[in-house]
Amino acid sequence: MSKIKQVTPSAFYQHTLRDSFSCIGRGLHSGLKVIMRVLPAPANTGYRFIRRDVKGDCNEILAAWYTVSDTHLCTTISNLCGVRVSTIEHLIAALHVCDIDNAIIVLDGPEVPIMDGSAKAFVELIDSVGLQQQAWQRRAIVVKKPLSVREGDKLACLLPYDKPWVKVEIDFEDPCIGRQSISTAIDYATVKRDIACARTFGFGEHINALKDLGFARGGSLENAILVNNGKVVNSSGLRYDNEFVRHKVLDTIGDLALSGAPIIGYFNGKYTGHALNNLLLRKLMASGANYDFCNFSDLGYFSRKLLAESRA
């Protein structure tokens, strides 16, 4: 077993943004221009979206595993009034790995701007404003026993482990991608270096059909990798040799962050996606027998105790 990381005292507490930041971009699927502002929020707020283009009292949506309403090609959340925000996964991943526990996200449209198709811009914007420590203790979800969900040959699992870890495998017929896998720690430095810059991708033969169905209307070579006939169309090429599977890890981080607290456990995904990731979260949160909530200050004790029990 690897040595349990010593957590610095500041990591024991929740954080929000030191200041707000704004960005403008297009929704990947809607194609609409979106102005987004991300603001500091009080402790225990979580991630809350506000649709300022929706009038009345029903324009707020909490980003949580149980508010996920659609997982086709992206992660979409909805409130009880049916107000939606889609393609939240890259922003949520950036907030999560930058240790932002609480934030208000204000949009004037139905979709988070796609930026360059990765989380790079969001991480840079968060870094530019910095973090503000809050008075409340930070909590973690410690996985207590193995859990899995399966759909055909697709599989997503969570196992007890002493730190957040993700392993993802993909396999596409197109030889430009083929079979790729990656196993990585989920922490700020690792994700910023190895994962955050990985872009979303699509296939040339699917574009017209997707647009007819209302998807990918904002997609371009500026915000996605386009694969066509076994080749990458983008003149700049790939940012990593295995950028495709790295992007799947980014999506997974964003999906799992909807648990409401960092998950201390080992995620293993084989051909997984937004739908299976959310099903796994729902299974995890369905019973307190599956996990323990603990303060970050107690994390070393809980991790050792649960790992010992799981391997007994």
Residue 287 has φ and ψ, to the nearest 5°, of: -150, 135
CB proximity list for 257: less than 8 A, separation 6 or greater: 92, 93, 95, 96
Distance CA 194, CA 93 (A): 13
Find out whether 72 is annotated in a ligand binding site. Answer: no
Backbone angles phi, psi at 140, to 5 degrees: -130, 155
Token pair recorded at residue 261: 């607290």
Known catalytic residue: 274? yes
E strand or H helix at 243: helix 243-256
Residue 130's CB is within 10 A of a number of other CB atoms, namely: 11
Residue from 15, 29, 96, 274 carrying the catalytic annotation = 274
Helix intervals (H) in 25-102: 89-97
DSSP β-ladder status, 179-185 and 291-295: unpaired
Question: At a CB cut-off of 8 Å and minimum separation 6, what does 152 contact?
Answer: none
Was 251 annotated as part of a binding site? yes
Question: Is 194 among the annotated ligand-binding positions?
Answer: no
Q: Which two tokens stand for residue 225?
A: 């990798």
Cα separations in angstroms, 287 against 63, 65, 149, 307, 309 = 20, 14, 15, 19, 18
Q: Are 29 and 117 in contact (CB under 8 A)?
A: no
Burial profile 270-279: b = 16 or more Cβ within 10 angstroms, e = fewer: bbbbbbbbbb
d(CA 304, CA 311): 11
Give the residue numbers annotated as catalytic, written as ranges.
274
Binding residues are 90, 247, 251
The annotation places the binding site for Zn(2+) at: 90, 247, 251
